[in-house]
Amino acid sequence: MLTARQRIIQRAAKEIEDGMYVNLGIGMPTLLANEIPDTKTVFLQSENGLLGIGPYPYEGEEDPDLINAGKETVTAMTGASYFDNAESFAMIRGGHIDLAILGGMEVSESGDLANWMIPGKMVKGMGGAMDLVQGAKRVIVIMDHVNKAGEAKVKKECDLPLTGTQVVSRLITDRAVFDFTDNGMVLTEILSDETVEEIRAITEANFTVAEHLVNEGVTE
């Protein structure tokens, strides 16, 4: 049986298409680098100045000078490019990133994202998230559906400081997939063995259910 994290990563990997330029956020999203099949040519970009990130290195083959934005050692694909931070952010702000897959602390029913700080806790800075949610052509957020206390992270309104308003295109949790449309938040897939009503019980946000919900045998 898949763990909650594996379920999220495997579902999110389906969003990456051949030929895309993709930025993977710090944390869980970076695991997607190992899920891209050899049949796809995908260009992974990192804010610290690398285009062409490969899978994580094998133990003992790490290069301490080759890191991603989260300071994790990575590999570089053949033909990878290195550049300064300013040029990296010019790529992002210029709309050249097809897809950003980011982690989240909270997502609201209107597609607002909070993912850069918790008040009272020390943070190094906001990183590139605020630029990515505005500059990337499409933003997908991946996160657990509830926090460690069992409280909803999919909320009517975010309580934490916002990274961006109405910026999320799709939310993938360990329980479900939601799209954000002109008609509001829509449940499109259930990834667990729960019913729609059980998903509602752990979701503070209001949402409608897609006509063709991907979850065989589950009804309202």
Residues taking part in catalysis: 47
Are 100 and 139 spatial neighbours (Cβ–Cβ below 8 Å)? Answer: yes
DSSP-derived secondary structure for 182-200:
TTEEEEEEE-SS--HHHHH
Give the full edge-to-edge strand order of the sheet including 106-108: 113-114, 106-108, 154-155
Residue whose structure tokens are 């990563």: 9
Q: Which helix (H) or strand (E) holds 178?
A: strand 176-181
DSSP-derived secondary structure for 66-101:
-B-TTS-B--EEEEEEE--HHHHHHHHHTT--SEEE
